[in-house]
Amino acid sequence: MMAGDVTAKISGGDLVIKGDSLANGVTIAAGTTAGTVVVTGITAGGIATTVNGGTTAVTLSGFTGDLKIDMKGGDDNVSVTGLTVPDDGKIKTGNGADTVTISDTTFGDDFKTDLGAGDDTLTLDSVTVTGRAKVEGHRGDDDATITDSTFSKLHVSLGRGDDTLTMS
C-alpha cells in the first residue's frame, strides 16, 4: 500500500483538509498562537503522508470558523488534539479501515463524523460540543469510545456489523 497526500488550507476562516483515495495519516493540533493550526503528515499504509506535497508540518493561520475534513477513500488515520473549533466540525473518512482520534478539543457549535464503510475506530476523549453531535458508521465492525466528553445532544449510529460503543 501507499500513503497519499492531503491538502490543508484556511478558506474563509475554515480549516479545510482533503485527502485522496490512498491511505492518509494526519495530525491536527493547535498552534502556539490563537487562530493557528499545525497539520502534520504521519505514516499510513507503511509510508509517510505528505501535506500540501511536502514532508514537513504545515502551520496555517486565520482559523476562525469550521473544521472540514474529507479524507476520501483508503485506510485513513486522523488525530485532532487540543483544538478549539470556533464553529462546526465535520469529519468524513470515506471507505476503508479508518481511525479517528479527537482529544482535548472543543467545538463551538455542531460536530459530525461519518466513518464510511469499513472496520473503523473512533475515540473521543475530553471533547466538548456545545451544539449537536452525530457519529455515523456504515458497513463494517466499528468501535467507538467516548470518555470524559460533554455534548448538548448526541446521536450515534454505527451501522451494520459487529459494532461496539463504550461511554464513560
The pLDDT profile of the chain, 168 residues, written as one tens digit per residue, is 456 899 999 999 999 999 998 999 999 999 999 999 999 999 987 889 999 999 999 999 999 999 999 999 899 999 999 999 999 999 999 999 999 999 999 999 999 999 999 999 999 999 999 999 999 999 999 999 999 999 999 999 998 889 999 999
Contact 111, 133 (CB under 8 A): yes
Lookup: cell for 156: 450515534
For residue 51, what is the enclosing H or E element? strand 50-51
pTM for the full model? 0.95
Query: Can you tell me the distance from the alpha carbon of 58 to that of 54, in angstroms, rounded to the nearest whole number?
Result: 9
C-alpha cell at 113: 463524523
**Side-chain-facing half-sphere of 141: CA atoms under 13 Å:** 1
The predicted structure's pLDDT at residue 95: 93
Q: What is the pLDDT of residue 46?
A: 83
pLDDT of residue 1: 46
**Which three cell numbers, joined as nine digits, stand for 92?**
468524513
* Residues 121, 58: Cα–Cα separation, whole Å: 26
**Per-residue cell: 100:** 479517528
